Amino acid sequence: MKNMTVSLIVVFMLSLPNLVVAQTSSRERQVRQAVQSFYDAFNSHGFERASEYTTEDWNHINPFGGRTRGREAVLRELNEVHSSFLRGVTDTIEDMDVRFANSSVAVVTVTSRTSTFTTPDGIRHENERHIRTFVVVKRSGRWLIMQDQNTTIGR
């Protein structure tokens, strides 16, 4: 009987790492989905469902160094640029790295490539690469983007 108890304990202990990996994989998938939802919206130029993947206090730092605070203000900015110089532009993820600061905060780094566009100052951007950092938080059981910063990768 004692040997059977010890055997069961050993089997249980050996299965714990698999449980942790499964939980981490599920968490990571949910975080990745929040970020992917942002890129899907970017590429379709429609941010109507932003409340499903961003927090109300979302902060956005654009590649030109401008900072916008609050989902409503960020969406106004995004809708403005996507109806003008970013109209029809796509941003394709090349790589996505997810790291967890704790059980409810993840930092996601994405490298991506945009299609050609011309900014209002007349500068043409061709085949440009970007690196974007997202802070994704778990609120009310959902993973949501709380902050992002987009930086152009120098040539």
What are 110's strand-pairing partners? 96, 132
Q: How does pLDDT run across 119-132, given as a tens digit for each residue?
A: 999 999 999 999 99
Sheet holding 142-152, edge to edge: 67-69, 54-61, 142-152, 129-139, 105-114, 91-102
Q: How does pLDDT run across 69-88, given as a tens digit for each residue?
A: 999 999 999 999 999 999 99
Enter the pTM of the model: 0.83
Report how many domains make up the chain.
Answer: 1
Domain that holds residue 28: 2-152
**CATH number assigned to the domain comprising residue 41:** 3.10.450.50
